[in-house]
Amino acid sequence: MKNISFTIFLILNLLTTCQDASAPPPTPVIPEVITPRFTDRQDRGDVENTELTEASGLAVSHSNPDLIWAHNDSGDEARLFLLGKDGGDWGTFRLEGTTNRDWEDIALVKPAGADTAYIYLADIGNNQNNYDTLYIYRFPEPDLSQLSAPAQAVVPANRIERFAFRYPGQIYDAETLLVVGNSIYILTKTLLSTLIYYAPLPPTTGTVVTLQEVSTLALTFVVGGDVWESTGDILLKTYDRVYLWEPGSVSSSPGMLYELPAIRLPYTPEPQGESIAWEPDGSGYYTLSEKPGNEPPRLFFYQRN
């Protein structure tokens, strides 16, 4: 796990443009050609729960890999939804003592040597630039092995940790959280490029940790992402594209700082599609959009060839 974590840290720094003003300008290498490593989308079904209307995050369960966690963004109750891989309703889990100010992403990570995976919930949205402080909630994933649908459950407040962060200067809107080992990365949702900020976990309880800017990514409007724990492969999603970065495609040579070894993957744009998640075995990735008008949101899967 340490080697994978180090490799991902390297990727997040090497798939960037350099911050040194004396360096030559970066070479744009965002690929335009789609690499057919994955199939076109497979329609897995309508989302049955009619209250999941503004999906903003997606993560496949470790406790029961046949189920998927999802959440709405700002304005909803502090709750997570459980979906079957056909979009079926498996219940709702309310998070006691928390507020959905603007939840924008979710990650599920099982630390090395741990028996339980942890859910990380990112309250990092800031559309109007009203908030100086970002919050990430962390708690053990509930045991879903004996779940009967549709469940109505509560995650008690004493199981939930809240970590507070701030940017070192200007404040940003952000919709993407990547968790690698004991580190978090927040990617801003910006017009000209994407800033990548880093912080170690866990910070000291009760403090507000200042994030560190580690790099700039030559990509705009990143709205979601996920890390495949087994290999460190990174998915990033914009509104109309999906990109993949693989550890084996990145060199540690300083000369590679100006290259972006991204692979463009198949993706059919969805109405306000902001959610993406790996299948835990790496066999494909899921996407989910917000509710398009009077039609229910639909769950899609892109299978590895």
Q: Show the tokens assigned to 20.
A: 């040194």
Phi, psi of 174 (to 5 degrees): -150, 150
pLDDT tens digit at each of 305 positions of the chain: 545 555 555 556 555 444 444 433 343 457 788 999 999 999 999 999 999 999 999 999 999 999 999 999 998 999 999 999 999 999 999 999 999 999 999 999 988 788 899 999 999 999 888 999 999 999 999 999 888 889 999 999 999 999 999 999 899 999 999 998 888 999 999 888 888 899 998 887 789 999 998 888 888 899 999 999 888 888 999 999 999 988 754 333 222 323 457 899 999 999 889 999 999 999 999 999 888 888 899 999 999 99
pLDDT at 10: 54
2-289: CATH number: 2.120.10
Q: Show the tokens assigned to 92.
A: 């709702």
* pLDDT tens sequence across 248-279: 543 332 223 234 578 999 999 998 899 999 99
Of the candidates 79, 81, 19, which has an alpha carbon nearest to the alpha carbon of residue 48? 81
Counting every residue written for the chain, the total comes to 305
What is the CB neighbour count within 10 angstroms for residue 78? 20
- Cα 180 versus chain centre, distance: 11
pLDDT at 3: 53
Domain layout of the chain by residue ranges: 2-289
Instruction: State how far the alpha carbon of 211 is from the alpha carbons of 84, 169, 195, in Å.
Output: 36, 10, 11
**Contact between 18 and 27 (Cβ < 8 Å):** no
pLDDT at 250: 39
pLDDT at 225: 95
Per DSSP, the three-state class of 12 is helix
* pLDDT tens sequence across 194-232: 888 999 988 877 899 999 988 888 888 999 999 998 888
Cα 185 from Cα 207, distance rounded (Å) = 18
pLDDT at 103: 98
pLDDT at 7: 56
Cα 209 from Cα 167, distance rounded (Å) = 9
Is residue 93 packed enough to be buried (19+ CB in 10 Å), middle (13-18) or exposed (0-12)? buried
pLDDT at 140: 97
pLDDT at 139: 97
Per DSSP, the three-state class of 2 is helix
**Contact between 288 and 300 (Cβ < 8 Å):** yes
pLDDT at 17: 42
